[in-house]
């Protein structure tokens, strides 16, 4: 697709503690705001899959920037997601 992407570490044993809570099942934001937010976001999703997860796989695609250039949308990530989905056919 031409979009620049980079794989992000997924380490449940490292990031799961970021969401521990004294009163709830899980916080909705990581404990250390300076931690690897994109990896923690993937862990947040993984925490919710828990008992519902089957033998299938899941993927977290974190897309944010660049969203605009010169007052117009860049379309960043659209081609990447399309190319990625086509690999699963």
Report the number of distinct structural domains present in the chain: 1
* Dihedral sign, Cα of residue 6, residue 10, residue 14, residue 18: positive
Please indicate, yes or no, if residue 2 is contained in any of the structural domains.
Answer: no
Q: How far apart are CA 14 and CA 34, in angstroms?
A: 14
Question: Residues 31-63: pLDDT tens digits?
Answer: 777 777 777 777 777 777 766 666 677 778 877
Question: Residues 7-19: pLDDT tens digits?
Answer: 887 777 777 777 7
Please indicate, yes or no, if residue 82 is contained in any of the structural domains.
Answer: yes
Please indicate, yes or no, if residue 21 is contained in any of the structural domains.
Answer: yes
What backbone torsions phi and psi does residue 86 show, to the nearest 5 degrees?
-65, -25
Domain housing 37: 12-86
Q: How far apart are CA 58 and CA 46, in angstroms?
A: 9
Question: Residues 64-79: pLDDT tens digits?
Answer: 777 888 889 888 888 8
Please indicate, yes or no, if residue 1 is contained in any of the structural domains.
Answer: no
What backbone torsions phi and psi does residue 73 show, to the nearest 5 degrees?
-70, 145
- Residue 12: closest CA among 44, 58, 37: 44
> Model's pTM, two decimal places?
0.57
């Amino acid at each position: 697709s031409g979009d620049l992407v980079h794989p992000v570490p997924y380490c449940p044993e490292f990031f799961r503690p970021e969401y521990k809570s004294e009163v709830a099942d899980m916080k909705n934001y990581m404990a250390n705001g300076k931690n690897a937010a994109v990896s923690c976001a993937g862990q947040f999703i993984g925490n919710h899959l828990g008992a519902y997860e089957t033998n299938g796989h899941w993927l977290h695609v974190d897309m944010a920037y660049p969203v605009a250039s010169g007052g117009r949308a860049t379309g960043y990530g659209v081609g990447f997601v399309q190319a990625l989905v086509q690999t699963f056919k």
